[in-house]
Amino acid sequence: MKTKRLNRRGFIEGLGAAVPAVALRGGGTGGAQAIAGPSELLVDPCPRFALAPCLYMQLMEPLGVADGSMYAARDFGAQRWREEVVESSQGLAPTLLRWGGCCCSYYCWKEGVGLGHRRKPMRSQLWGGVYDHQVGTHELVDFCRRIGADPLLVGNFESGGRRQWATDSQGNIRLGEAAEWMDCCENPANAQRRERGAQAPYGVTLWQIGNETSSDPNGFGVEDAARKPVGFAKAMRPADHVQAEGGRDAGPHWLQR
């Protein structure tokens, strides 16, 4: 039997091409055998190279549909995470826990800090439903510390150029909002964080500027997406932490810029 070595991507692509062919030949197992003949799939579990630890990341985001699981994981009466959830998450051992995704286009971090009863609900602009901000920056960092993960916070990058969310409710550009968030996390004297009971800085070292920057045709073009992060980095630089711009692979011209 002739053996062909395939990587994961090549196998998936080949499998996708085989399914329509089977359908054209009548479908079912017999059709597949008529086309491909007897075959055997051998999986080699040995790692071929090391992966960066940050790739083992999980996402926490108010989506309007997943919030129930977030709330089920927290004991709001005792203001703590449920121990069984913490233990299960420790077993999964994610290296990073990312706060934000699509919601960072309109999410305002200030609504999710301070004492819980003072937090105002937020209407989900993309997914529908209402998010009450009972899990915010303090709660996320606390969960990360308990499960041994590092927090990755996604700042609002002028909503990726979407004009309806590019400024806050007072008309302020979002780069100031991102800088204030970092100050809340890392300034030893920040009153908003200390009010929540965290006297010491959170020690958040990973920040992402925006999410899927190139995904919306009405958002930033390649030049703005390359230029504007400089302003965000300068505004956030006084805290001297690491910034990483978010986005997706929209083509080589985006990556080159």
The pLDDT tens digits of the residues spanning 154-181 come to 988 877 767 766 666 666 666 778 888 9
Q: Are residues 142 and 20 located together in one domain of the fold?
A: no
pTM of the model: 0.72
Looking at the structure, tell me whether residues 229 and 172 fall in a common domain. yes
Residue 202 has pLDDT above 70, yes or no: yes
Q: 242 pLDDT exceeds 50?
A: no
Judge if 142 and 209 occupy the same domain: yes
Q: Which of 204, 193, 111 is nearest to 150 (CA)?
A: 204
Let me know whether 7 and 111 are in one domain: no
CA 12 to chain centre: 25
Number of domains the chain is built from: 2
pLDDT in tens, 100-136: 887 887 888 888 888 888 888 888 777 777 888 888 9
Do 130 and 121 contact (CB within 8 A), yes or no?
A: yes
Euclidean distance between CA atoms 150 and 54, whole angstroms: 9
Judgement on whether residues 15 and 102 belong to the same structural domain of the protein: no
The beta-strand segments (E) located in 3-106 are: 57-60, 74-75, 80-81, 96-99
Q: Which residue has the higher pLDDT, 126 or 240?
A: 126
Query: What is the C-alpha R_g of the chain?
Result: 23
Q: Domain check: are 68 and 154 in the same one?
A: yes
Q: What is the mean pLDDT of the chain?
A: 77
Question: Do residues 207 and 182 make contact, with C-beta atoms less than 8 angstroms apart?
Answer: yes
| Domain that residue 29 falls in | 1-45
- C-alpha distance from residue 139 to each of 45, 70, 104, 124 (Å): 37, 11, 17, 20
Question: Pairing state of beta strands 80-81 and 96-99?
Answer: unpaired
Cα distance between residue 81 and residue 73, in whole Å: 6
Q: What is the pLDDT of residues 53-78, one digit of tens each?
A: 888 888 887 766 556 667 788 888 88
Residues 169 and 191 in one domain: yes
Residues 6+ apart with CB under 8 A from 113: 119, 136, 137, 138, 184, 192, 193, 196
> Are residues 57 and 28 part of one domain?
no
The CATH number assigned to the domain holding 123 equals 3.20.20.80
Q: What is the DSSP letter of 167?
A: B
In this predicted structure, the answer to whether residue 246 has a pLDDT above a threshold of 60 is no
And the tokens for 213? Answer: 């920057």
Position 255 scores a pLDDT of 44
Strand order in the sheet with 206-209: 57-60, 96-99, 150-155, 206-209, 242-245
Query: Do 166 and 93 reside in the same domain of the chain?
Result: yes
For residue 153, is pLDDT > 80? yes
Is there a single domain that holds both residue 24 and residue 68? Answer: no
* Same-domain pairing of 8 and 67: no
Report the C-alpha gap between 75 and 52 in whole angstroms.
Answer: 34
Q: Are residues 86 and 213 in the same domain?
A: yes
